[in-house]
Each structure stands twice: as C-alpha cells, then as structure tokens.
Amino acid sequence: MSQIREVKDATNIVEIIGERIKLDSAGINFKACCPFHNEKTPSFFVNPGLQRYRCFGCGANGDTLDFLQNFEGVTFYEALKTLADRAGIALKEFQKSKDDEEREKLIEILSFAKEYYHFLLTKHEVGEEGREYLKNRGTNAESIKIFQLGFATSAWDSLLKYLHQKKKFPLELIEKTGLIIRGRNDSYYDRFRDRLIFPLKNHRGQVVGFSGRLMNQSAKEAKYINSPETVLYHKSKMLYGYSELFREIKKKEQVIVVEGEFDMISSAQAHVNNVVAIKGSALTQDQVTLLARVAKTIILSLDADEAGVKATERAIEIVKTKALDLRVIDLKHLESLSEEDKVKDPDELARENPKIWREAVESAVSAYEFLFNHVIDLHDPKTPDGKRKIINRLAPILESIDHAVEKEFYLQKLSTALNVKESILKEDIAKFGQKKTSLSQEKTAEDESAPMAIKSYQERNEEYLMFLLFSFEPALIKERADSLKDFIFKSRGFKQVIEQLLSYKGTFDLQKFASSLAEDLKRSLMDALLNPEYEKNAKENDLDKEWKAALSRVKKESLRDEIVLINQEISNLDTSLKRTEEEEKKLDQLLTLIVQKQALIKKLG
Ligand code: ZN
C-alpha cells in the first residue's frame, strides 16, 4: 500500500473539515456554507462514505488532501504531512519538492527563534527587563506561555549566533525568514533588538514571523517593527491570536477584532477570549475570509478616530458578500461608561476593568449605527452645510443596506436627526443608488460561480436513483441494486458501480466500497450522493415510494429511448422499396418489439 493511501485510510474527512469549519449533519452527508466561495445558504457537502466533499455552488470538490491544499493554501506534500502527523504515520518514501524542503527549513528556523526569545524572557537573566515590563503591564504568566512571548537583547548578533553557529543553519536561509538583515559589507545582524517579542503564527499554528515592541519609548525608533513579507509571512493574512484562540472563536461563532497585540492579550485575560488582533486598523478581505470560516459575527473594536471609521466602512463592504453580522464596540457612545473610560483602548479597559470590557462587548452595536453616530458627531446637523455633509457621507452607506426594515429604521433616524423629511432623504439616497448599481452588478457577476455541467432529464433521474439506492439500510442495498442489473444507464460509470456493488462481498460499507472504486467512478457517484436537492426530496418523502417512482421513471425513459432506436432501424428498412423476405420478417419483429415496449411503459404507469 502506498503511503498516500495509508494516510488517507487513517483519516476521516468529516473530522478534518469539521475541525476547520462548522459542519451540520444533513442525512447521509454533512453540509456547510462553502469556504471556497461567498454564499449565505449552504451548498457545500461532505460525504463520509466517499470521503469526499463537493460544492454545488462553485464546483469545488475532492478528497481530504484536495481540501487541505485549497483551504489552507498548502502544497500537496504539506497537506499529506499534516494528515500523516495527525495519524502518527512517518512519511518515508515521499519525495519532497525543493520548495517544500525550503519551507520546512524556514519553519524550523522560525520555531527555534521563538524558543530562543521565549527562553530569554522566561529563564535568562537578560530577560529581567522584559519580565519587569510585562509585570507592570499586568500580562500574566499564562498569557506569556500561551502566546509564547519572548525577549530580544540589545546585542546585534545574539539570535544570529544562536541560529548560525549553534544550530548550523546557513545565513542565506536565515535571511529568508526576515530574522536577520544583510548589512553593507555583507555582514548580517539581528532585525529584532532590545524588544519584547510576539511570535506571529499563521492559521495553522506555525510561527511565520515576529513583531517586536520597544519597552522604552524612544523618539528615534518605531514602537513596533514586524517581520518583512516573506514566503511565509503575509501581513494581509495575519490574525494575531487566531491559532491560539481558534477553538473559542469557533465555539462562540463570534470574534472580536482589536488593533494591537496587547489589546488581544488583555482581552483574553479578561475572559473575552474569542478575540484576534489585526495589527493596524484595516481589516482585509483575506482576514475576513479566515474569520468567516468559523464566526457568524465579527465585532470590531478599533480606534474611534477617522482611521477607525474608514476601516469600519471598508469592513462593511468586505463583509457584505458573506453571511456575517458586523458589529462595533462603540465606547464613545456607550452611556454606561464614564467619560474617562470612553477614550480608553481595549487593552487599558480590559486590564483596569475587565467587567466593563465584557459589558462593552455585549453592547456592541451594528456597524451602521456606529457610523451613523460618528458622522453626526462630526458635523453640525443644524446648519445646511452640516446637513449636506452628513447626507453625503451616510447616503452610500444607507443605500447599501439590503434589509428593508433596517434601511427604513436608519432613514427615520436620520430624518429626525437632521430635521429633514424622509421623502427628501430618500430622493438623495436614490441618486447614490443609481451611481452605484452598475458597480455592484459587475461585482456580483464576478462572484457568480461557473454553472455546473447541465445534465439531461434521464441523467438526473439516474443520479437520484443512485442517491436513493445508497440511502437504504446497508443490508438492503445489494438486493435493491439487483433490479438495476440489466439496466442501460446513460450516466457514465453507473453501470460499473452497480456491477461492482453486486460483486461486493460481506456486509455493505460505503466507505470500503467507495475506496475500491476508480477515481472517475467515485466522482460520478459523488455527484449523485452529495446533491442537496436529492437529499431534500428523499427526506420529505417515503424512501420506498421514492425508489419505486424513480425506478419507473428511469425505466420508462430508457424504454422510450429504445423505441426511438427501433424506429430508426425501421425507417432504414422502409427506404428500400423492395424488401426481401428476410427484411419483412425483421420488420415484423421490430414492430412487435415496439408494441411490447409500449405495453411495458404503460404497465409502469
Ligand atoms: Zn463553493
């Protein structure tokens, strides 16, 4: 047995996908909103028997290895390695590509660096400054451990020596991780010096970069420096805390997005631990995609300055295509807060008054409400100039609200705030709508996925029949399949599937059976078994009745096809004016056949 096969056999696709996105049971399948395209109702199905997934929206399909490659953006080898590690299988015979080999080395270097910084912070005497700093900030030992915080000394080559001289990694390779920088005379030095270190992990939990924070504010240097973009580190995909707090986020189906590392850590310490930091104020499409896999609600807690407001507007746009509720923690307008608390950032608030932070999270308002309040704060709603500015800013936002009742609610609110008639506001807003529609139409056309190959009536009937067949109790399946023994299928592969099914020995087991099928047969079967429409149909009706009805439909259709063929044969005979006796006999036979087949059709009802 090949190792790929061994790994696949030791893996359950439902577990692998279920650990990453929320799967709901749907009869013999599991379903979810597709992680590969934007949708609000689930068309992504996973079949445990076939160990395959299939999206009826965008056509994405495959096995566990395909899923991991597409979902996590990893290579075939990395996907295989992930599954092998999980199953405790050592990959021996697999030939890695050069790229895979290098990435593995880079990950190793970054992991050593993390250990090194963490050791300095927690065990070494040079880390005293860092320990003292964290103590004063109220960062506890548990957080230091969970987030593997570290400390970089002021030396220019401390990490360099450790990685190169002690661990024997080549300089060019260390440089590729962004941990060291090549100086003018080709000598290298450490990027992070005299800083508190935050390891940055990708969503798979691998350290891919670092963020370093100065402990003493100096005018000369930036408070934070980060790893540069590398093959592994991409700032736009980074969600600090995601891999550590992933389970909590998935459990609550809700995530709070804060700006900085300490905001995230302090929030987690205040027991609001479904939180991530985006290291800045701009939430990106990539980050939303990652969050949408596990959360239904995103709660932004960004600075209440203009940058934060702009970021919220952009987030509304990004979130629109997903089935996500976007909310904002609006400290400034939270009446229960003291004036003092209103201007604090999440880090301060969570540290000084965890209870108030938890309440603030509970009181998060819709993103529209947040924008509404801020824009009204910004301009004077009493002056004509102020009114115009407020309308200009809010109109595109109001226009973009899909939900009619919600839209009406904010229109009324705006009408009251500005003391302007609602009908006049509506006109203004409609103007923005006209400007915008062409744009948004383009967008939907782009988002719309390629349609699936169109199947004929008979092919769909056959598929449904297959679906029903495999929905029966295992003990019944072979017996039912027997009635399809001589049937001529239009759909490719079904004949072989039935043949193999009839020769299957022992108690029927879909997973075992499917693994014995060739890839193309598996795919045909998957199309049938993972179709949500069939699922719905079968669920609403009696299985036996459905089976009989479907069987008679495919049989009738097949008989009709046969009649068409016979008629063609007859017309071939007819054209020859003088028929031989033999031909006359043949014609008789064919006509009888037609009568018989028509009688059969009639009998089928
Ligand atoms: Zn899809």
What's the rounded Cα separation, in Å, for the pair 268 and 243? 13
Cα angle value 424/425/427 (rounded, 5°): 65
Structure tokens at 428: 């203004």
For residue 317, the CA-to-ligand 1 centroid distance in Å is: 20
For residue 436, the CA-to-ligand 1 centroid distance in Å is: 27
For residue 42, the CA-to-ligand 1 centroid distance in Å is: 9
For residue 54, the CA-to-ligand 1 centroid distance in Å is: 8
Reported as type and span, the H/E element at residue 299 is: strand 297-301
What's the rounded Cα separation, in Å, for the pair 347 and 273? 13
For residue 173, the CA-to-ligand 1 centroid distance in Å is: 38
pLDDT at position 575, please? Answer: 55
Of 326, 318, 325, 269, the closest CA to residue 300 belongs to 326
Of 314, 323, 333, 318, the closest CA to residue 288 belongs to 318
For residue 187, the CA-to-ligand 1 centroid distance in Å is: 49
Please say whether the beta carbons of 560 and 602 come within 8 A.
Answer: no
For residue 50, the CA-to-ligand 1 centroid distance in Å is: 18
Rounded to the nearest 10 degrees, what angle do helices 543-575 and 457-469 cross at?
A: 140
Can you give the C-alpha Rg of the chain in angstroms? 32
For residue 284, the CA-to-ligand 1 centroid distance in Å is: 21
What's the rounded Cα separation, in Å, for the pair 329 and 254? 13
For residue 242, the CA-to-ligand 1 centroid distance in Å is: 24
Distances in Å between the Cα of 41 and the Cα atoms of 30, 31, 45, 321 are 14, 10, 12, 12
Q: In what order do the strands lie in the sheet with 195-201?
A: 150-152, 195-201, 207-214, 224-226
Q: Which residues of the chain have pLDDT under 50?
A: 436-452
CB neighbour class for 69 (10 Å; exposed up to 12, middle 13-18, buried from 19): middle
For residue 25, the CA-to-ligand 1 centroid distance in Å is: 18
For residue 531, the CA-to-ligand 1 centroid distance in Å is: 13
For residue 585, the CA-to-ligand 1 centroid distance in Å is: 57
Please say whether the beta carbons of 245 and 269 come within 8 A.
Answer: no
pLDDT at position 435, please? Answer: 55
For residue 63, the CA-to-ligand 1 centroid distance in Å is: 15
* C-beta neighbour count of 183 within 10 angstroms: 10
Structure tokens at 555: 């049989």
For residue 572, the CA-to-ligand 1 centroid distance in Å is: 49
Of 195, 198, 228, the closest CA to residue 210 belongs to 198
For residue 442, the CA-to-ligand 1 centroid distance in Å is: 19
Rounded to the nearest 10 degrees, what angle do helices 457-469 and 532-540 cross at?
A: 60
For residue 20, the CA-to-ligand 1 centroid distance in Å is: 15
Reported as type and span, the H/E element at residue 199 is: strand 195-201
For residue 286, the CA-to-ligand 1 centroid distance in Å is: 16
Q: In what order do the strands lie in the sheet with 61-62?
A: 24-26, 29-32, 44-47, 52-55, 61-62
* C-beta neighbour count of 465 within 10 angstroms: 26
Please say whether the beta carbons of 216 and 171 come within 8 A.
Answer: no
- Tell me the pLDDT tens digit for each residue of 89-137: 888 877 788 888 899 999 999 999 999 999 999 999 999 999 999 999 9
For residue 299, the CA-to-ligand 1 centroid distance in Å is: 25
Structure tokens at 549: 């009805």
For residue 325, the CA-to-ligand 1 centroid distance in Å is: 20
Q: 453-461: which pairs have CB atoms within 8 A and are 24 or more residues apart?
A: 455/491, 456/490, 457/557, 458/490, 458/554, 458/557, 458/558, 458/561, 459/490, 459/491, 461/550, 461/553, 461/554, 461/557
Of 408, 455, 449, the closest CA to residue 429 belongs to 408
Cα dihedral sign for 419, 424, 428, 434?
Answer: positive
For residue 36, the CA-to-ligand 1 centroid distance in Å is: 5
For residue 427, the CA-to-ligand 1 centroid distance in Å is: 38
Residues that place a CB less than 5 A from ion ligand 1 = 34, 36-37, 55, 57-58, 60
Q: Sort residue 385 into left (φ over 0), alpha (ψ -120 to 50) or beta.
A: alpha
For residue 71, the CA-to-ligand 1 centroid distance in Å is: 11
Distances in Å between the Cα of 500 and the Cα atoms of 126, 334, 527 are 69, 67, 18
Q: Sort residue 469 into left (φ over 0), alpha (ψ -120 to 50) or beta.
A: alpha
What's the rounded Cα separation, in Å, for the pair 126 and 132? 11
For residue 55, the CA-to-ligand 1 centroid distance in Å is: 5
Reported as type and span, the H/E element at residue 31 is: strand 29-32
For residue 110, the CA-to-ligand 1 centroid distance in Å is: 34
